[in-house]
């Protein structure tokens, strides 16, 4: 099978021929139809996220089950599936208390290049092992994933659209619906209007927020944000964010969502919310980064928190979001603005980083 392999941060991914992997106990082999291109894939490519090379990136896959390993009961060959970014063991404390997105054994290996048993499923034809990304590695024609990550959908669902529910869109929507639990009629600011930020705007609409303020430096992204439901926009390169926030929502917004992953915008999110408000860090802040905040804000009951994967309970949330997509309430067709072939993966990553796309998808 063809796969895009990262050998070193800062270098282009290389298309290689790998062996088709075999699923082990509790695992599923999926023939990919499509995979989204997410900023979390760019982070290892740029060096902001340390992962062990050589590694196949990709974590927003969707495809058709080809083979199942021993013990698999949730899917069967021929099923159409979305491959969620965060598998779960179903047995650890986090899984038992209803937080499978924080699964303990999975958290230990997501960026370590292996599956939960400490081994990898990928190798070159000469036997050279290749590491795995997020227990998925969907920048390849086939992927082995845990059955907990293979979310079945009906055969009439376009996999080239719903693949982005695997991570980016679920993260943006889930940050509002699951993590912050945005209340009807509240005010929301979204800082950063890339794929995750636009998804957060969709989530704000699903929560029936009264004012949805999109903040970015790119006019094209702000224009798109208005098209999908933002009530106000602020170009932070041209106008003062705090002055505009106070004019739109005196005292600050109820909720702010940082969807970029930079220390300055984390601080801005906390600044934007009123006393008693909540700021949620959704963007992937580079590893080892520290953020300086005025602790007095915390005394006045401002909450600063984070969110991984939109706090998504995959087997519960994703089928519901697929239904909302079918009903026209999650505009995936508009949000996916460009498609690529696997051989164009480096072009896709660069276009995303330059802000040329809202969401892009690799088709197989």
Residue 48 has pLDDT above 90, yes or no: no
Residue 81, CB-side half-sphere exposure with 13 Å CA sphere: 33
- pLDDT given at position 100: 97
Give the chain's domains with CATH numbers. Answer: 2-166+331-363 (3.90.180.10), 169-308 (3.40.50.720)
80: left (phi over 0), alpha (psi -120 to 50) or beta: beta
**H or E, element range at 247:** helix 241-248
| pLDDT score recorded for residue 141 | 98
Helix (H, G, I), strand (E, B) or coil at 55: strand
Q: Which of 162, 170, 159, 164 is nearest to 364 (CA)?
A: 159
What lies within 8 Å, CB to CB, of 327 at 6+ separation is none
pLDDT mean over 47-51: 88
Give me the sign of the Cα torsion angle 17, 23, 27, 29: positive
What per-residue confidence (pLDDT) applies to 236?
97
Q: Where are the alpha helices (DSSP H) in 5-148?
A: 39-46, 93-96, 104-107
Over residues 168-177, the pLDDT tens digits come to 999 999 999 9
Query: Tokens standing for 3?
Result: 């796969």
Segment 331-357, tens digit of pLDDT: 999 999 999 999 999 999 999 999 899
Burial of 114 (0-12, 13-18, 19+ CB in 10 A): middle
Q: Is the pLDDT of residue 287 over 80?
A: no
CA 43 – CA 63 distance, rounded (Å): 24
Predicted pLDDT of residue 91: 96
Strand partners, 131: 55
pTM for this predicted structure: 0.95
pLDDT of res. 346: 97
**Which is nearest to 3 in space by CA: 108, 94, 138, 102?**
138
**pLDDT the model gives residue 285:** 85
Q: Is the pLDDT of residue 298 over 90?
A: no
* Among 12-21, 44-53, 80-89, the least confident range: 44-53
Mean pLDDT to the nearest integer, 214-219: 97
| pLDDT tens column, 62-106 | 999 999 999 999 999 999 999 999 999 999 999 999 999 999 999
Largest CA distance in the chain: 64
Per-residue pLDDT of 220-273, as tens digits, reads 999 999 999 999 999 999 999 999 999 999 999 999 999 999 999 999 999 999
Helical (H) or strand (E) element with 27? strand 27-37
- Percent of all residues in the chain with a pLDDT value above 90, rounded to a whole number: 92
Q: What contacts 24, CB < 8 A, 6 or more positions away? A: 69, 70, 115, 117, 121, 144
């Amino acid at each position: 099978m063809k796969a895009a392999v990262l050998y070193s941060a800062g270098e282009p991914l290389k298309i290689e021929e790998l062996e088709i992997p075999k699923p082990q106990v509790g695992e599923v082999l999926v023939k990919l139809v499509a995979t989204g291109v997410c900023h979390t894939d760019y982070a290892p490519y740029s060096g902001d996220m340390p992962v062990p090379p050589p590694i196949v990136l990709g974590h927003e896959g969707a495809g058709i089950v080809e083979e199942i390993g021993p013990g698999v009961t949730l899917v069967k060959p021929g099923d159409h599936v979305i491959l969620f970014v965060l598998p779960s063991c179903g047995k650890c404390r986090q899984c038992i208390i209803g937080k499978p997105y924080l699964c303990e054994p999975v958290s230990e290996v997501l960026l370590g290049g292996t599956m939960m048993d400490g081994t990898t499923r990928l190798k070159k034809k000469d036997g050279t092992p290749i590491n795995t990304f997020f227990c998925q590695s969907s920048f390849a024609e086939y992927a082995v994933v845990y059955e907990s990550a293979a979310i079945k959908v009906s055969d009439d669902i376009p996999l080239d659209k719903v693949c982005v529910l695997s991570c980016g869109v679920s993260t943006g929507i889930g940050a509002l619906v699951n993590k912050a639990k945005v209340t009807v009629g509240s005010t929301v600011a979204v800082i950063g209007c890339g794929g995750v930020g636009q998804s957060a705007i969709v989530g704000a609409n699903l929560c029936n927020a009264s004012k949805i303020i999109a903040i970015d430096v790119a006019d094209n992204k702000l224009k798109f944000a208005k098209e999908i439901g933002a009530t106000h926009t602020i170009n932070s390169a041209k106008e003062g964010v705090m002055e505009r926030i106070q004019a739109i929502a005196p005292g600050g917004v109820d909720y702010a969502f940082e969807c970029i992953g930079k220390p300055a915008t984390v601080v801005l999110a906390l600044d934007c919310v009123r006393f008693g408000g909540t700021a949620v860090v959704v963007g992937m802040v580079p590893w080892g980064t520290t953020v300086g905040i005025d602790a007095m804000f915390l005394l006045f009951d401002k909450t600063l928190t984070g969110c991984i994967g939109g706090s998504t309970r995959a087997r519960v949330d994703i089928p519901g979001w697929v239904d909302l997509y079918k009903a026209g309430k999650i505009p995936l067709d508009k949000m996916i603005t460009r498609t690529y072939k696997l051989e164009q993966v480096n072009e896709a990553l660069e276009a995303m980083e330059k802000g040329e796309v809202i969401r892009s998808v690799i088709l197989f």
